[in-house]
Amino acid sequence: MADADLPGGAADLPGGAADLVVRGARCVATMDADRRELSDGWVAVTDGFVSAVGTGDAPDAATVIDATDCLVTPGLVNAHHHLFQNLTRAYPPMTDKPLFGWLQSLYPLWRTIDAESVHVSAWVGLAELALSGCTTSTDHLYLHPRGAGDLLTAEIDAARDLGIRFHPTRGSMSLSEKDGGLPPDDVVADDDEILAACEEAVARHHDRSSGAMTRVALAPCSPFSVTEDLMVRTAELAERLDVRLHTHFAENAEDDEFSLATFGCRPMEYLERTGWCTDRTWVAHCVMPEPDEIRRLGAAGVSAAHCPSSNLILSSGIAPVVDLRAAGVHVGLGVDGSSSADSASLWLEARQAMLLTKLRDGAASGSARMALEIATLGGAACLGRQGELGVIEPGAVGDLAVWSLTGPSYAGALADPVEAWLRCGPASARDTIVHGRPIVRAGALESPAVETMLAEHARLAARVQRLAE
Ligand SMILES: [Zn+2]
């Protein structure tokens, strides 16, 4: 039990003993306002929230995790994904096509998804993320084939079963090939139908409470797959329901060209004229903005999910992360769908972000600390949960990642545990803790369902890929 005589800050623990303590860390990178990094650090979690942090002797708790030789960070936040795409991971014919051709090749396979395949792909995809230290993920689920069932509920059930914090978006597509868009006719819906489904999804699943495990945002797929009217009305609905807005934005040159040819303006102006330039918006990619557009994004309080691996695989370009941050844009990190960035590891994306920033803006610009910041605080801002997610301080949620800095990969990395974390490796989380509950221990998922779900996933992925032939 916690005791008033215990040294090291334990006496300050409110309400006595904690539920969980992570102690003895080589470093706790708090990501708090002072960016405190605590040697021999500990973190106590009570009722799902961080109740105290300190150094030296730690308070007692029902669950004690020894973090000797480990770095402890806030749980990483994934700000962009399409979980269902792991059903067509690394699908061979698509690997040499840029964005539009790649999408049009895969739509015929994806149109076969249903509630079962969405549930299983979400479970497996979120499990993969948890193994990389992710404790909160969004999902941009924009594909709702006619008759496929309630796909949003199917993926929310998967997240609940796994125990990961989840911000799914009710995505949509309304502009099919016959109307000048990209997707096939049978996966688009009518604008009124989409808006009704969005409103119902928020009413049913959106939890506004502090520490919420599930929140819903509204997310038309992209300017090239929805009508302008749907963009406008979705922004109005998000305002009325007080939920966040998400879409793809300025992903590559094709995106710019489509916007100029179809709307007569660049993607930035389109975002502005549809009412999306607000601080409830976070966009995915943001590879192509010009300097003045970067300034306007920052002034509006728009956030952006940087998806480095996807941008590399699809040869889209390198997002101007340093310039965006300098302009006040909150930049988070996204793994993007597993058909375009086929590995869904937030650690890997953080490393890619660090390396690309060094390449684009100079070696000193892309530090491990910058990458950690966008993977935690930046993601929290994208999801509208600053101060609650992505930071280790009393009152924040008890979401933690514990990273072992031992073994051959870290031999000799004595000087700086945070730089070592991202420059050595590859790394997976040793322990991933969500709302005070470990869901990964010793590098393995705690759920007993892993093998069953992987077998189901193999069956369903084969079905999706075979049926389309
Ligand atoms: Zn995407």
pLDDT tens, position by position, 125-141: 999 999 999 999 999 99
Q: Which residues of the chain have pLDDT under 70?
A: 1-16, 93-97, 467-469
Cα separation, 168 vs 368, whole angstroms: 28
Q: Find the 81 Cα to ligand 1 centroid distance in Å.
A: 6
CATH topology classification for 76-382: TIM Barrel (3.20.20)
8 Å CB contact between 84 and 143: yes
Q: Find the 79 Cα to ligand 1 centroid distance in Å.
A: 10
Give residues with Cβ within 8 angstroms of 27, minimum separation 6.
37, 38, 39, 41, 71, 72, 417, 418
Q: Find the 361 Cα to ligand 1 centroid distance in Å.
A: 25
Q: Can you tell me whether residue 24 is helix, strand or coil?
A: strand
Q: Is the dihedral of CA 163, 169, 174, 176 positive or negative?
A: negative
Q: Find the 55 Cα to ligand 1 centroid distance in Å.
A: 41
Res 467: pLDDT: 53
pLDDT tens, position by position, 371-413: 999 999 999 999 999 999 999 999 999 999 999 999 999 999 9
Radius of gyration of the chain (CA): 22
CA distances from 32 to 8, 51, 66, 435 (A): 19, 14, 22, 18
Q: Find the 99 Cα to ligand 1 centroid distance in Å.
A: 10
Cα separation, 144 vs 117, whole angstroms: 12
CA atoms within 13 A on the CB side of 395: 5
Res 468: pLDDT: 44
8 Å CB contact between 80 and 305: yes
Q: Find the 80 Cα to ligand 1 centroid distance in Å.
A: 6
- In order, the DSSP letters of 59-124 are PPEEEEEE-TTEEEEEPEEE----GGGGGGTT-GGGTT--HHHHHHHHHHHHTT--HHHHHHHHHH
Q: Find the 102 Cα to ligand 1 centroid distance in Å.
A: 12
Q: Find the 182 Cα to ligand 1 centroid distance in Å.
A: 14
Q: Find the 83 Cα to ligand 1 centroid distance in Å.
A: 10
Q: Find the 101 Cα to ligand 1 centroid distance in Å.
A: 15
The domain spans of the chain are 10-74+391-445, 76-382
Q: Find the 391 Cα to ligand 1 centroid distance in Å.
A: 26
Q: Find the 325 Cα to ligand 1 centroid distance in Å.
A: 21
Q: Find the 397 Cα to ligand 1 centroid distance in Å.
A: 27
Q: Can you tell me whether residue 404 is helix, strand or coil?
A: strand
Q: Find the 255 Cα to ligand 1 centroid distance in Å.
A: 13
Cα separation, 323 vs 152, whole angstroms: 35
Q: Find the 346 Cα to ligand 1 centroid distance in Å.
A: 15
Q: Find the 426 Cα to ligand 1 centroid distance in Å.
A: 24
Q: Find the 230 Cα to ligand 1 centroid distance in Å.
A: 19
Nearest to 172 by CA among 216, 128, 207: 216
Q: Find the 340 Cα to ligand 1 centroid distance in Å.
A: 8
The DSSP symbol for 138 reads: E
8 Å CB contact between 251 and 224: no
Q: Find the 335 Cα to ligand 1 centroid distance in Å.
A: 9
Q: Find the 139 Cα to ligand 1 centroid distance in Å.
A: 9
Q: Find the 305 Cα to ligand 1 centroid distance in Å.
A: 10
Res 1: pLDDT: 32
Indicate the pTM of the whole model: 0.95
The DSSP symbol for 11 reads: G
CA distances from 366 to 78, 116, 153, 166, 458 (A): 19, 41, 39, 29, 38
Q: Which of these CATH numbers, 3.20.20.70, 3.30.300.30, 2.30.40.10, 3.30.590.20, describes 10-74+391-445?
A: 2.30.40.10
Give residues with Cβ within 8 angstroms of 77, minimum separation 6.
134, 135, 136, 137, 332, 333, 346, 375, 376, 378, 379, 380, 382, 383, 389, 390
Q: Find the 69 Cα to ligand 1 centroid distance in Å.
A: 36
Q: Find the 363 Cα to ligand 1 centroid distance in Å.
A: 28
Res 202: pLDDT: 98
Res 203: pLDDT: 98
Phi (first) and psi of residue 166, to 5 degrees: -140, 130
The torsion region of residue 48 among left (phi > 0), alpha (psi -120 to 50) and beta comes to left
